[in-house]
Chain A
Amino acid sequence: MTEPLVEVEGLTRVFDVSPPWITRKLAGQPRRLLRAVDGVDFAVAPQRTLGLVGESGCGKSTVARCVAGLMAPSAGAMRFRGRPMDLARRPDRAVRRSIQMVFQDPYASLNPRWRVETSVGDPLLAFGIARSRADMREQVARLLTDVGLSPDDAAKYPHEFSGGQRQRIAIARALASRPAFLICDEPTSALDVSVQAAVLNLMRRLQGEYGLTYLFISHNLAVVDHMADDVGVMYLGRIVEMQPKRRLFDAPRHPYTRLLVQTVPGLDTLGRASAPLAGEVPSPLSPPPGCAFHPRCPHANDRCRAERPAPVPLPEGGNVACHAVAEGRI
């Protein structure tokens, strides 16, 4: 197997959500810790796409922010090209420019007072990629053309663009420093389907042209199926199943994955009343003991309620963290 471009081992991020000190002392309350990400492992091979799916609060965006260096992990190791990396604690310009991010909301991720040229050109100047302002302008024009916009758009402001066009600008900005690894956190969730199709097509084309490796995060299973090579399913801070996407969607093993694949509303569900899963994702503040999914799981037994399942490798590749699968019960 080729050496992974990005590797993450035991990634954990804990947030302190305690009430203020005085309240704790007066009411005798303990500190409260929220384990948003709890021991996540994955590796992404060069020019491949790893998809992460899960519902809100499962920790997928926190994984993205830790890898991008927007926040420091509480524990765990991250490696880029085999070398330890933690951009939030140890800024490293060479790695920094190689790892870029595209955010969900192109209305919030672009500075409304900056011309497109400034937003897209800033990384070129910051990393010393452009030799002069004229060179910067030329490179911005090329980037805008690459994402399907016109070089003339460089002089405009974000409000002059539609949502889909803004996301193209955000992609051009992410590509400016010629990154190897692009983290995309729900990049099309704010867009209409017809616009989404165009942006997804663009991202696949750019992956080939720029030789990009993607970490692609979405709650939309069909979008992840379209974009990813391998898919990890997150539930309450952990990856419960990771498989090559065809196997994951055709033969999901974890009961949660099965449920997700079954309940996703799609055109195939036409006229078929799907049986929605009862219950909700528990609060990450007080996760259930044992397997976090056991309160909603039809296959849960006493062991599931007491013992947290570890990821077990599957014969066909990938892994699944489920006692019922490991014991051959399902």
Chain B
Amino acid sequence: MKPLLDIRGLRVELPGPPPLAVLDDVSLAIAPGEILGVVGESGAGKSVTGAAVLGLLTAPLRQAGGEILFDGTRIDTLPEARMRRLRGAEIAMVFQDPLTALNPVFTVGQQLVQTIREHSSLTRSEARARAAALLREVGIPDPDERLDAYPHEFSGGMRQRVVIALALAGAPRLIIADEPTTALDVSIQAQIIALLVGLARARGVGVMLITHDMGVIAEAADRVAVLYAGRLVEVGPVAEVLLRPRHPYTRGLVGAIPRIGAGLAVLPQIPGAMPRLDSLPEGCAFHPRCPLADARCRAERPAPRPLGPVQVACLHAEKAVA
């Protein structure tokens, strides 16, 4: 199937001198109805990937290479006016903090109606009916009355549902969700994840789910991409990547997650810390922390290569899985 979103060799730079690669040669694809999880530590480039797709890179960040295709058409070179029409209508976003994503001085209904009319030719009353239907679809009780409520009158979980309704207003085909459940409580998190998964399935919407929470990925994603220091280290079906990680970094990351009932005296941890962008090591960016590193890893930067059902950027991936 033709991918809905196709990111090819994306490079995003912080201008220098010397320029620093915030994202370096990242290639990812999302099919319609598919949920791609993007994970990594803070500073790995997760959010920048999402921002690049939306054409919302904030200066001085700039795209320095690669291309982004949406439904087969390049969108990274579109003029801002065309990109603006695409955002919301075809590609929508859901942010981490629902309180800042909504305008506090307008009712939820006003914000939904405005967004719906922006992307359609509906009349005000038709748009209002559509807004109520959207609230119902995201599981908000009494949608007709709740349209007249202000964002502060909703709880955190309900507010995030409103944000998702707002994202759906233009009937997008791709949703970029950046840490959509991070600000929410555990039991509410589960509700929002179930909602996103349900919508992706029912509407055939592709979702890029950016999160640092492997638990969320395990529950929601079909495939997962792991980023490290701006580079793609592993991408593949979620069960493969989380249960049989091929890349030593993915293994370290998955191993470091505390699990209920594991009964470990000491949690496995990765020695050291992710390098700063201005002091990336030669060769594989992970080699100083890697138990498998040898002279080749210090000299040669591994490109992602297929290994079974996954793509992995490691010279010794076969050893890691053994």
Interface positions of A (Cβ within 8 A of B) = 55-56, 162-164, 192-198, 200-201, 204, 219-223, 225-226, 249-250, 259-261, 263-271, 273-274, 276-278, 280-281
Contacts and interface: CB of A to CB of B under 8 A. Distances in A.
B218 A270 contact: yes
B298 interface: no
B279 interface: no
27 contacts: A55-B188, A162-B273, A193-B212, A194-B41, A197-B258, A201-B267, A201-B269, A221-B260, A225-B259, A225-B260, A225-B261, A249-B261, A260-B187, A263-B186, A264-B260, A265-B215, A265-B216, A267-B214, A267-B242, A269-B219, A270-B242, A271-B238, A273-B194, A273-B219, A277-B191, A278-B191, A280-B155
B141 to A, nearest CB: 10
Contacts of A194: 41, 252-253, 256, 269-270
A274 to B, nearest CB: 6
B259 A266 contact: yes
Contact of A277 (B187, B243, B273): B187
Interface size class of B (residues with CB under 8 A): 35 or more
B185 A265 contact: no
- For the complex, would chain A's binding face be called helix, strand, loop or mixed by DSSP majority? helix
B138 interface: no
Contacts, number: 133
A257 B266 CA distance: 26
B186 A197 contact: no
A202 B232 CA distance: 30
A327 to B, nearest CB: 25
Chain A CB count within 10 A is highest, among B188, B219, B252, for B219
Given A263-B186, A265-B189, 10 more contacts: A192-B41, A192-B212, A193-B257, A197-B267, A249-B261, A265-B216, A267-B259, A268-B218, A274-B194, A277-B191
Chain A CB count within 10 A is highest, among B185, B238, B260, for B260
Contacts of B187: 55, 259-260, 263, 276-277, 281
Contacts of A204: 265-266
- Nearest 8 CB-CB pairs, A to B? A265-B215, A276-B190, A197-B256, A55-B185, A197-B267, A222-B258, A192-B41, A197-B269
Chain A CB count within 10 A is highest, among B42, B267, B270, for B267
Contacts of A249: 260-261
Contacts of B254: 267
Interface string B216-260: 101100000000000000000011001100000000111011111
A270 B258 contact: no
A267 B257 contact: yes
B265 to A, nearest CB: 8
Contacts of B261: 225, 249-250
Contact of B258 (A223, A269, A281): A223
A260 B190 CA distance: 10
Nearest to B215: A265
B260 A222 contact: yes
B214 A269 contact: no
B260 A193 contact: no
Nearest to B265: A204
A201 B267 CA distance: 6
B191 A226 contact: no
Nearest to B213: A265
B29 interface: no
Contacts of B42: 163, 192
Contacts of A56: 156, 185
Contact of A55 (B186, B262, B270): B186
A196 B266 CA distance: 12
Contacts of B259: 222, 225, 266-268
B59 interface: no
B185 A270 contact: no
A266 B273 contact: no
A226 B267 contact: yes
